[in-house]
Amino acid sequence: GENVEQHPSTLSVQEGDSAVIKCTYSDSASNYFPWYKQELGKRPQLIIDIRSNVGEKKDQRIAVTLNKTAKHFSLHITETQPEDSAVYFCAASIPTSGTYKYIFGTGTRLKVLA
Amino acid sequence: DTEVTQTPKHLVMGMTNKKSLKCEQHMGHRAMYWYKQKAKKPPELMFVYSYEKLSINESVPSRFSPECPNSSLLNLHLHALQPEDSALYLCASSPRLMAGAYTYNEQFFGPGTRLTVL
């Protein structure tokens, strides 16, 4: 079935440390993997994404890696700052019914301690 | 205009009321989505419209009725809701549709409507 597992559910790090969030998907037809950051009461914001034909992508302090064989993808945030505190969702995009739909992970609440 | 907008921001309704949520985008996106999000949970897909046609209905109760009058506008009509339907309702749009192995759909979310059913 369609499923995305996300770990950990909560993560506390000291400011300046790194944070890693991991996701595993089940549908091998998934071909696109976005990461969203959602602050309390706000909309999910796309922060980085990776396509199935790429193994790694980096944007300043944020990077995403994809292992298609293992069906794993991970978000890496380096030099964390208090403003990185939020809930992070991974997603896998699945082609279906002539369009796409996202299967979201359950979310990770990241707290960066000053 | 590079945003998805939603109105109203907040809505309180009784179980016998009829109300509508509105979503608008002027980015030329041809796929639009409705999601429901409960507190501390991920967005849960409800409907997908592709070129103004309903492509996906994730077994949503009939008290939720979507409508896509044109390529820029998406409505969600609400009738006889239950208190458990209280949630944040998010709209999203996407510029790409299925056209081969490497077509990707970045979804852009609106700010949501916070719905409370009394």
| Contact criterion met (CB below 8 Å) for A100 and A113 | no
Alpha-carbon gap, residue A113 to B86, rounded angstroms? 32
> How many Cβ pairs within 8 Å bridge chains A and B?
72
- Supply the pLDDT for residue A98: 76
Residues of A in contact with B48 (CB under 8 A): 97, 99, 101
Query: In the predicted model, is pLDDT for residue B13 greater than 90?
Result: yes
Q: Which residues on neighbouring strands pair with residue B65, listed in sequence order?
A: B77
Residues of B in contact with A32 (CB under 8 A): 104-105
Nearest chain B residue (CA) to A52 = B102
Residues of B in contact with A100 (CB under 8 A): 31, 94, 96-98, 105
| Per-residue pLDDT reduced to its tens digit, A87-98 | 999 999 988 887
Interface test with B, best of A7, A21, A28, A43 (most B CBs within 10 A): A43
CA A52 from chain centre, in angstroms, equals 14
- Supply the pLDDT for residue A79: 97
Using the beta-carbon criterion (under 8 Å), do B55 and A53 form an inter-chain contact? Answer: no
CA B45 from chain centre, in angstroms, equals 8
Count Cα atoms within 13 angstroms, Cβ side, for B56. 21
| Per-residue pLDDT reduced to its tens digit, B51-69 | 899 999 999 999 999 999 9
